Amino acid sequence: MSRSPSLPDRPRLDLDPEMSPAERLEALREHFLKLEQVNDELTDQLDAAESRRDDLRDQVDQLERENETLKTSSLYIATAEELTDEGVVVKQHGNNQEVLTEVSPQLREELEAGDRVAINDSFSVQTLLEAETDARAQAMQVNSSPEVTYDDIGGLEEQTREVREAVEEPLINAEQFAEVGIDPPSGVLLHGPPGTGKTMLAKAVANETDATFIKMAGSELVQKFIGEGARLVRDLFELASEHEPAIIFIDEIDAIAAKRTESKTSGDAEVQRTMMQLLSEMDGFEDRGEIRIIAATNRFDMLDRAILRPGRFDRLIEVPNPDREGRERILEIHTQDMSLADDIGLGAIADQTDDFSGAELASLATEAGMFAIRDERTTVTTEDFEDALEKITDTDGEETGPIAFY
Ligand SMILES: Nc1ncnc2c1ncn2[C@@H]1O[C@H](COP(=O)(O)OP(=O)(O)OP(=O)(O)O)[C@@H](O)[C@H]1O
């Protein structure tokens, strides 16, 4: 930085009392000239200082603009994979590109391998993200006491019995298993079409055993938390052991445990790593205490058989669409708080709703209620159900004629 120029010496005026008036006048004139000179120098210095101040102001404006752009421009998310003497190896999420990049000494001190970071266009690390809590909170739903009970589930008596035996018993009766000398099933896999109550079953068993219900969706792991799947699976089991007794529910497990395909894209490798992590967590599962694991899939055919080996998901429970009796029970459950007209026959509706899932029956009931509201009625009639059924099958793209419940 340039230093400020030194101020000119202040001229001195020496007036001798012995001086004649002419000499005094001359001395004053000389002094005046010197003062003028100093004044010129000071004016020059002032001009220079003012122009420097303007330059500095310009620089400040420029830096402020750059700062604003830096703050608003998008940064990319990456994982710091390795800290080396040459820099940090980061892997950008989304394209899995790995680069050796720089990081400020201050950030470097806080950084650990595996941390999530934000990088700019030139890949240099800008910020350390609170990966664990952030992604954990987003990827996992933790519910300390889900409200679903077995009574809320229509049909599925056999499935409920099996889930209770495989999940509930080992949690509440661990000694019995120890006495008999058998290991309880490791993991339960519920498979069947969408909306048949798989999640409800898992929640109900958590409720019944006072276990914390921790849900993670396989599809989100591979689509939303790219690059973090394996780590989140590890976190999932860690979180469960912090909340024992706990039930881990992995929905759409097919997203991370599909059969290996021929293609070797980086996306596949990432999914593969996530699955390996899941398998290794399950293999080391026995010592984990009061944690049970339930997974669900609509695509059983797609699953990699490796996850079905003994000690992994070794209890398979099929959860199909409800039969006629199941449908009637589900309709009863979903209409129990509705004001229904006296003549409504839920049995007749069950007859007309072949192939409906539990979720579709639930929305049928809601839709019928909507028809009543549209008509400004508080009681739901058979006709509302007929209209609702027509509407639902219509949006499903099926051919519909007039529907009547007798
Ligand atoms: N057997 C059932 N009894 C009562 N309600 C049901 C049943 N099955 C589904 N439902 C209704 O459908 C909703 C969705 O069910 P759930 O989430 O348990 O299905 P799922 O099998 O886990 O579906 P997906 O495979 O799409 O995740 C439930 O909240 C409930 O309202």
CA angle 192, 396, 404 (to 5 degrees): 105
Reading the block at residue 395, the tokens are 């949006």
- Supply the residue whose CA is at minimum distance from atom 28 of ligand 1: 359
Atom of ligand 1 nearest to the CA of 153: 3
Three-state DSSP state, 249: strand
What is the spatial distance between Cα 247 and Cα 205, in angstroms, rounded to a whole number? 8
- Supply the residue whose CA is at minimum distance from atom 11 of ligand 1: 359
In this structure, what is the dihedral angle of CA atoms 282, 284, 289, 291, given to the nearest 10 degrees? -10
How far apart are the CA of 148 and the centre of ligand 1, in A? 11
- Supply the residue whose CA is at minimum distance from atom 12 of ligand 1: 359
Reading the block at residue 301, the tokens are 């055919």
Residue-level length of the chain: 406
- Amino acid 364 reads L
How far apart are the CA of 347 and the centre of ligand 1, in A? 20
- Supply the residue whose CA is at minimum distance from atom 24 of ligand 1: 194
Atom of ligand 1 nearest to the CA of 197: 18
The residue to mutate among 143, 190, 199, having the most atoms of ligand 1 within 8 angstroms of its beta carbon, is 199
Peptide bond into 245 cis (omega under 30): yes
What is the spatial distance between Cα 141 and Cα 144, in angstroms, rounded to a whole number? 10
Atom of ligand 1 nearest to the CA of 203: 18
Reading the block at residue 324, the tokens are 């006629």
How far apart are the CA of 112 and the centre of ligand 1, in A? 42
Three-state DSSP state, 143: strand
Q: List 101's β-bridge partners, or say none.
A: 88
How far apart are the CA of 201 and the centre of ligand 1, in A? 9
Say whether the ipTM exceeds 0.95: yes
Q: Within a 10 A sphere around the Cβ of 403, how many other Cβ atoms?
A: 14
Q: Is residue 226 a contact partner of residue 79, using CB atoms and an 8 Å limit?
A: no
- Supply the residue whose CA is at minimum distance from atom 18 of ligand 1: 197
* Residues 6 or more apart whose Cβ sits within 8 Å of residue 228: 79, 93, 116, 131, 135, 139, 221
Atom of ligand 1 nearest to the CA of 298: 25
- pLDDT tens by residue, 100-143: 998 888 888 888 888 888 888 888 888 888 755 556 667 778 88
Closest by CA to 292, choosing from 179, 192, 164, 176, is 164
- pLDDT tens by residue, 366-405: 999 999 999 999 999 999 999 999 998 876 555 445 555 6
- pLDDT tens by residue, 29-43: 999 999 999 999 999
Pocket of ligand 1 (CB under 6 A): 153-156, 194-200, 251, 296, 298, 330, 333, 358-359, 362
How far apart are the CA of 248 and the centre of ligand 1, in A? 18
Closest by CA to 319, choosing from 186, 159, 183, 82, is 159
How far apart are the CA of 154 and the centre of ligand 1, in A? 10
- Supply the residue whose CA is at minimum distance from atom 13 of ligand 1: 359
Atom of ligand 1 nearest to the CA of 201: 18
- Supply the residue whose CA is at minimum distance from atom 17 of ligand 1: 199
What is the spatial distance between Cα 235 and Cα 238, in angstroms, rounded to a whole number? 5
Q: What is the CA radius of gyration of the chain?
A: 38
How far apart are the CA of 257 and the centre of ligand 1, in A? 22
At 40, give phi and psi (nearest 5°): -60, -45
Sheet with 125-129, edge to edge strand ranges? 98-101, 87-92, 76-84, 116-119, 125-129
Q: Is residue 264 a contact partner of residue 217, using CB atoms and an 8 Å limit?
A: no
> DSSP secondary structure string, 58-103?
HHHHHHHHHHHHHHHS--EEEEEEEEETTEEEEEETTT--EEEE--
Q: Within a 10 A sphere around the Cβ of 254, how many other Cβ atoms?
A: 22
Atom of ligand 1 nearest to the CA of 359: 12
Closest by CA to 260, choosing from 229, 304, 294, is 304
Residue bearing tokens 């101020």:
7
- Supply the residue whose CA is at minimum distance from atom 25 of ligand 1: 194
How far apart are the CA of 362 and the centre of ligand 1, in A? 9
Binding residue positions for ATP: 195-200, 334
At 143, give phi and psi (nearest 5°): -130, 110
Q: What is the pLDDT along the chain (406 residues), one digit of tens a residue?
A: 555 678 888 888 888 888 898 989 999 999 999 999 999 999 999 999 999 999 999 999 888 887 776 666 677 888 888 998 888 999 887 777 889 998 888 888 888 888 888 888 888 888 888 755 556 667 778 887 788 999 999 999 999 999 999 999 988 888 888 888 888 888 899 999 999 999 999 999 999 999 999 999 988 877 777 777 888 888 888 888 888 889 999 999 999 888 766 445 555 777 888 888 888 888 876 655 788 999 999 999 989 888 998 888 989 999 999 999 999 999 999 999 999 999 899 999 999 999 999 999 999 999 999 999 999 999 999 999 999 999 988 765 554 455 556 5
Binding residue positions: 195-200, 334
